[in-house]
């Protein structure tokens, strides 16, 4: 990659209403893209270049040297990729959640014209109209990667809420020209100094890997929030849409409570349809007679987290907010700016946008989020966020479009607090990193495969609600997961009624979600689901969680990322297996094949197993898999990786210093404990029955448990152990007779992620409830999670693996230690193993275990 040119787009006078690409009066000036300071027109530009072997980052500072304010539209950094090779394709990445993202041919035609005008184009592109001099260039928002016979090349802007990045690409003979436009679109006062976000360019072999590196860097710079536990829940939208009622929600809540052990979800989210008017989010309409607070309380007492949808920047004239604060809106030509058209939301269809560049608006957003959280909602789905960042006139023109979005989101984050899960939706991607916990990465799913005829709008088809559109982006944006946030692939639907989706299409949606390892919210009327539909739901939850489990970064990669019309599939990896998803995009049956070895080089000896009722398939000695797939049908295969070494580790007293369960029991059931302990010693109770007697029904306030969990410390070598395993692809799993909710919380508090098996814990009607998750009646351990059982199950899938168990207790760890090949032990486990005459390695901290594993793996390699 060669640096080529540095350009500036600007206008001599600040005129925000004219801001935008190639507006009349817009000037262009350029110089060489070279490190150091250069004068360009009224500006001085300082460029720092940090080049490594196959990547470079560029930081640019622009100062206005003139005596008048100038309008800086964009800073352009241009590069040449010499002799890029033939057959170039590139990722056309869209601006916001719903925008089209997929590969295209890098032909000479450039970005296709948009048939429905700049305003609608501006809904999905950073720019409503590209600069006139970009004719013939291809365009991509935030980042792009091009790939051909000679490798791949990435360019992007590490957006942090100042500028908006647009990448332009075009062929030039044998070369590829790539230019990153950092769109600033704001005035720069005399002497003012602007530090732009870093531009990253990189060369490599694999486009997915380059995008993962880009996301790693962006996530690190913008402080991405990637540590939330796996999200599993229910959402009202895709079953009830805008007509949802309180009765619908309560009915589903009740069914979900009864089916808690069948469907392991902990979130119930109310979507659009409850509010009095768009803008008045704290007031409900006649279908929600009791208002929001009692509903949040009902959801929480039933043992679920309460989630709610809102479009915090949207306002309609029917709202009290519009009436009270007409001055809070972004402005357009001759009136308030029209953010979008939505006939279900308002009489005349026009929806207006709040202007977060105003202090008062930021305060309002803060109070709104705080009020919802105060009612008991701990999950906010923030929708239609792009309206705040459209090309419109703001009260304070110095706040850029990305800055408006970021200010608004920051106010919501401050009001909601650190513990609330914020989901971005319809959201420009770059500027939201670091503020949201989850992000919708594609168009809406729908109970139909393709876009409905009546909903078509020329140019918008690939972004409109349709399951095929949603799946496309799940595949092309898989690299963002747990690098920028948790990916939300949008809802799973499993019903066969109230839908036009065929069985094959439903399963394809489920398979794409599962292999992506993203969030799983489902949207069906639960009591109407039949046994097969429930099975599909359960399996999808299990598989997606397995892919997401423990990995600090997303693992899923598209198969043929840049292929048209979309990637052929997706491979997600867990610590010991992979899920390969292969989709027939065609409207007719088709035979498809995939070479598994390319997708997963370390497949183990066991044959792949179909998941989610995948169709029959054939495989040959070369590792080629073939299947006949129905129209829009798919193949989902579970492939077990080849494993030489695996580590299972106890939690209480081993991975963590404290014993969570027994400390709680001591403190809060101290009076009952001695008698129960005697019964346990006498063999009248087994370990799980002891837990049930002690903890099930315990009336300890949630906040008190949380306060205790904050005091839990991990062993000093805990994160080193996890890292050691991660770096060597050694599966690591905590096996605990403790509880899922506590382990999730401790992971969040400590920032150390790990996969685990543990019992279920939830808070229902003011008391804690527990359920065993993997007991084994044939084992003498009597625990809720029999460690011998877990280890045997693993061994059956990975014959030949050397299995290590690490533990400290004689009750729950003994059967695990005996089932493993190598035992690390301390405390009563060490005593028990010594008594049995079983060899073990003694350890004091997990640092000792790391050292022991180092020796063990050296022996295994010999
Ligand atoms: C509620 C819905 C759901 C959904 C959101 C969002 O382009 N469009 O016309 C378009 C319409 C609706 C829409 C997205 C795009 O849905 O994604 O999950 O919350 O709002 O109104």
186-234 confidence digits (pLDDT tens): 999 999 999 999 999 999 999 999 999 999 999 999 999 999 999 999 9
Taking CA atoms, 451 is separated from 30, 465, 780, in Å, by 44, 6, 57
Beta carbons of 561 and 572 less than 8 angstroms apart: no
Distances (CA, A) of 321 to 310, 312, 374, 862: 14, 11, 20, 72
Min mean pLDDT across 20-34, 748-762, 834-848 is at 20-34
Give the percent of the chain with pLDDT over 70. 99
Task: Kindly indicate the confidence band of residue 662, based on its pLDDT and cuts at 50, 70 and 90.
Answer: confident
| Its pTM surpasses 0.95 | yes
Mean pLDDT across the stretch 111-138?
96
Q: Is the pLDDT of residue 505 over 70?
A: yes
Rounded CA separation 716/750 (Å) = 12
What's the 444 CA to ligand 1 centre distance in angstroms? Answer: 6
The whole-number pLDDT of residue 21 equals: 46
As a whole number, mean pLDDT of residues 320-338 equals: 96
Plot region of 472 (φ>0 → left; ψ -120 to 50 → alpha; else → beta): alpha
What is the Å distance from ligand 1's center to 423 Cα? 14
Average pLDDT of the residues in 89-105: 98
Closest ligand 1 atom, CA of 309?
A: 19
Q: How many CB atoms lie within 10 A of CB 510?
A: 28
Q: Rounded to the nearest whole angstrom, what is the distance from the C-alpha of residue 116 to the centroid of ligand 1? A: 19
Residues 114 and 99 sit within 8 Å (Cβ to Cβ): no
Indicate the pLDDT class of residue 83, thresholds 50, 70 and 90.
confident
Q: Check residue 192 and give left, alpha or beta (phi > 0: left; psi -120 to 50: alpha).
A: beta
Does 623 score more than 90 pLDDT?
no
Q: 322: Cβ below 6 Å to ligand 1?
A: no
The conformational region for residue 827 under phi > 0 = left, psi -120 to 50 = alpha, else beta, is left
DSSP secondary structure letters along 101-135: -EEEE--SS-SPP-TTHHHHHTTTSS-SS--GGGT
pLDDT for the residue 551: 87
**Ligand 1 center–CA 769 separation, angstroms:** 36
Query: Is the pLDDT score of 20 beyond 70?
Result: no
Q: Does ligand 1 lie within 6 Å of residue 272's CB atom?
A: yes
Segment 302-321 mean pLDDT: 98
Residue 444 beta carbon below 6 angstroms from any ligand 1 atom: yes
Return the best residue to mutate from 349, 444, 456 for the ligand 1 pocket (most ligand atoms within 8 A of CB): 444
466 pLDDT higher than 70: yes
The ligand 1 atom at the shortest distance from the C-alpha of residue 381 is 19
Please give the share of the chain, as a percent, with pLDDT higher than 90. Answer: 91
Is the pLDDT score of 629 beyond 90? yes
pLDDT at 729 over 80: yes
Ligand 1: centre distance to CA 98 (Å): 9
- Ligand 1, residues 94, 95, 96, 98: which to mutate, most atoms within 8 A of Cβ? 98
Measure Cα distances from 577 to 547, 548, 549, 580, 847 in Å: 8, 12, 12, 10, 27
Mutate to test the pocket of ligand 1, among 123, 125, 237, 423 (most ligand atoms within 8 A of CB): 237
Residue 108 confidence class, pLDDT cut points 50, 70, 90: very high
Q: How confident is the model at residue 134 (pLDDT cuts 50, 70, 90)?
A: very high
Packing angle between helix 292-301 and helix 246-258, nearest 10 degrees? Answer: 10
Q: Ligand 1 centroid vs 563 CA: distance in angstroms?
A: 27
pLDDT of residue 596: 77
Q: What is the rounded distance in angstroms from the CA atom of residue 136 to the CA atom of residue 428?
A: 25
Asked if residue 340 has pLDDT above 80, the reply is: yes
Q: Is the CB of 341 under 6 A from ligand 1?
A: no
Paired with 374 in beta bridges are none
Q: Is the CB of 311 under 6 A from ligand 1?
A: no
- Give me the helices (H) in 440-493, please: 467-476
User: Does the pLDDT value for residue 497 go beyond 90?
Assistant: yes
For residue 239, give every residue at least 6 positions away whose Cβ sits within 8 Å of its Cβ, in sequence order, or none.
493, 495, 498, 523, 524, 525
Tokens 């369960």 map to which residue?
A: 661
Ligand 1 center to residue 232 CA distance, Å? 20
From atom 16 of ligand 1, which residue's Cα is the shortest distance away?
Answer: 444
Q: Is 237 in the pocket of ligand 1 (CB under 6 A)?
A: yes
Owner of token pair 């423990």: 550
Determine the average pLDDT of the residues in 253-274.
97
| Lowest mean pLDDT across 233-237, 251-255, 797-801 | 797-801
Q: Find out whether the beta carbon of 271 lies less than 6 Å from any atom of ligand 1.
A: yes
Which atom of ligand 1 lies closest to the CA of 123?
A: 7
Is the pLDDT at 635 greater than 60? The verdict is yes
Q: Which atom of ligand 1 is nearest to the CA of 460?
A: 7
Cα-to-centroid distance, 647 and ligand 1 (Å): 44
Give long-range contacts, CB 8 A cutoff, 24+ apart: 787-793: 787/648, 787/650, 787/735, 787/812, 787/813, 787/815, 787/816, 787/819, 788/815, 788/816, 788/818, 788/819, 790/648, 790/733, 790/735, 790/757, 790/816, 791/648, 791/735, 791/816, 791/819, 791/820, 792/819
Q: What number is the average pLDDT over the span 22-28?
A: 74
Apex 768 CA angle, 762 and 771, nearest 5: 60
- How much is the average pLDDT of 264-269? 97
Q: Is the CB of 238 under 6 A from ligand 1?
A: no
Average pLDDT, the chain: 95
For residues 557 and 483, give the distance between their C-alpha atoms in angstroms, rounded to a whole number. Answer: 13
Catalytic residues: 383, 444
Please tell me the predicted confidence (pLDDT) of residue 604.
Answer: 79
Element of type H or E holding 286: none
* Whether the CB of 757 sits within 6 Å of ligand 1: no
The residue whose CA has the least distance to atom 3 of ligand 1 is 237
């Amino acid at each position: 990659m060669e640096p080529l040119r540095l350009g500036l787009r600007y206008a001599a006078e600040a005129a925000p209403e004219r801001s935008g690409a190639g507006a009349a009066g817009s000037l262009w000036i350029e110089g060489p893209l070279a490190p150091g300071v250069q004068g360009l027109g009224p500006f001085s530009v300082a460029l720092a270049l940090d080049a490594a072997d196959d990547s470079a980052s560029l930081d640019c500072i622009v100062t206005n040297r003139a005596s008048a304010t100038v309008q800086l539209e964009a800073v352009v950094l241009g590069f040449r990729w010499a002799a890029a090779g033939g057959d170039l394709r590139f990722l056309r990445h869209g601006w916001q959640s719903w925008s089209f993202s997929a590969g295209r041919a890098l032909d000479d035609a450039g970005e296709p014209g948009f048939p429905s005008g700049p305003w609608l184009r501006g809904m999905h592109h950073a720019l409503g109209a590209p600069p006139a001099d970009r004719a013939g260039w291809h365009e991509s928002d935030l980042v792009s990667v091009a790939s051909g016979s000679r490798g791949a090349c990435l360019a992007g802007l590490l957006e942090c809420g100042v500028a908006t990045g647009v990448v332009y690409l075009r062929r030039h003979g044998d070369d590829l020209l790539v230019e990153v436009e950092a769109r600033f679109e704001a005035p720069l006062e005399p002497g003012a100094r602007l530090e732009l976000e870093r531009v990253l360019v990189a060369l490599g072999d694999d486009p997915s890997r380059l995008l993962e590196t880009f996301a790693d860097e962006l996530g690190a710079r913008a402080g991405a929030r990637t540590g939330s536990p796996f999200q599993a829940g229910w959402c009202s939208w895709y079953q009830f849409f805008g007509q949802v009622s309180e009765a619908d929600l309560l009915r589903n809540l009740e069914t979900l409570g009864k089916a808690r052990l069948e469907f392991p979800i902990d979130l119930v989210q109310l979507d659009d349809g409850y509010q009095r008017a768009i803008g008045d989010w704290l007031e409900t309409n006649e279908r929600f007679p009791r208002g929001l607070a009692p509903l949040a309380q009902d959801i929480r007492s039933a043992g679920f987290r309460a989630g709610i949808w809102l479009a915090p920047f949207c306002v309609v004239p029917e709202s009290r907010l519009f009436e009270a604060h007409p001055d809070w809106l972004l402005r357009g030509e001759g009136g308030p700016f029209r953010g979008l058209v939505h006939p279900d939301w308002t009489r005349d269809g026009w929806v207006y946008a709040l202007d977060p560049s105003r202090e008062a608006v930021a305060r309002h957003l803060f109070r709104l989020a705080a009020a919802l959280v105060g009612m008991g909602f701990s999950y906010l789905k923030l929708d239609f966020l792009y309206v705040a960042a459209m090309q419109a006139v703001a009260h304070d023109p110095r706040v850029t479009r990305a800055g408006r979005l970021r200010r608004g989101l920051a106010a919501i984050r401050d009001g909601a607090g650190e513990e609330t899960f914020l989901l971005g939706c319809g959201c420009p991607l770059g500027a939201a990193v670091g503020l949201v916990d989850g992000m919708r990465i594609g168009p809406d799913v729908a109970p139909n495969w393709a876009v409905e005829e009546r909903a078509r709008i020329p140019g918008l088809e690939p972004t409109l609600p349709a399951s095929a559109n949603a799946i496309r982006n799940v595949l092309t944006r898989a690299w963002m997961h747990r690098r920028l946030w948790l990916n939300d692939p949008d809802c799973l639907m499993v019903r066969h009624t109230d839908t036009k989706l065929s069985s094959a299409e439903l399963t394809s949606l489920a398979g794409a979600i599962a292999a992506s390892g993203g969030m799983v919210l489902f949207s069906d009327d639960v009591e109407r689901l039949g046994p097969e539909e429930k099975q599909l739901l359960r399996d999808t939850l299990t598989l997606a969680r397995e892919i997401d489990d423990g990995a600090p970064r997303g693992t899923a990669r598209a198969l043929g990322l840049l292929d048209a019309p979309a990637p052929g599939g997706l491979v997600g990896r867990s610590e010991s297996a992979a899920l390969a998803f292969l989709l027939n995009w065609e409207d007719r049956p088709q035979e498809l094949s995939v070479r598994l070895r390319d997708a997963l080089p370390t497949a183990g000896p066991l044959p792949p197993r179909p998941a989610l009722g995948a169709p029959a398939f054939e495989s040959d000695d070369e590792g080629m898999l073939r299947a006949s797939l129905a129209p829009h049908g798919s193949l989902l295969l579970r492939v077990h990786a080849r494993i030489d070494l695996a580590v299972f580790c106890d939690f209480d007293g081993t991975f963590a210093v404290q014993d969570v369960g027994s400390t709680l029991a001591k403190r809060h059931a101290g009076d009952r404990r001695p008698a129960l302990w005697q019964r346990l010693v006498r063999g009248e109770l087994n370990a799980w029955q002891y837990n049930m007697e002690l903890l099930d029904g315990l009336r300890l306030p949630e906040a008190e448990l949380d306060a205790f969990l904050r005091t839990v410390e991990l062993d000093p070598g805990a994160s080193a152990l996890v890292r050691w395993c991660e770096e060597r692809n050694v599966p690591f799993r905590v096996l605990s007779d403790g509880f899922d909710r506590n382990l999730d919380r401790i992971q969040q508090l400590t920032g150390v992620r790990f996969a685990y098996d543990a019992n279920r814990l939830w808070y229902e009607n003011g008391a804690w409830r527990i359920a065993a998750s993997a007991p084994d009646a044939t084992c003498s351990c009597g625990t809720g999670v029999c460690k011998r059982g877990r280890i045997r199950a693993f061994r059956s899938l990975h014959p030949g693996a050397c299995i290590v168990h690490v533990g400290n207790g004689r009750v729950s760890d003994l059967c695990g230690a005996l089932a493993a090949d190598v035992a690390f032990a301390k405390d009563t486990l060490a005593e028990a193993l010594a008594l049995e005459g079983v060899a073990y390695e003694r350890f004091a901290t997990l640092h000792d275990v790391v050292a022991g594993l180092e020796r063990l793996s050296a022996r295994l390699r010999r």
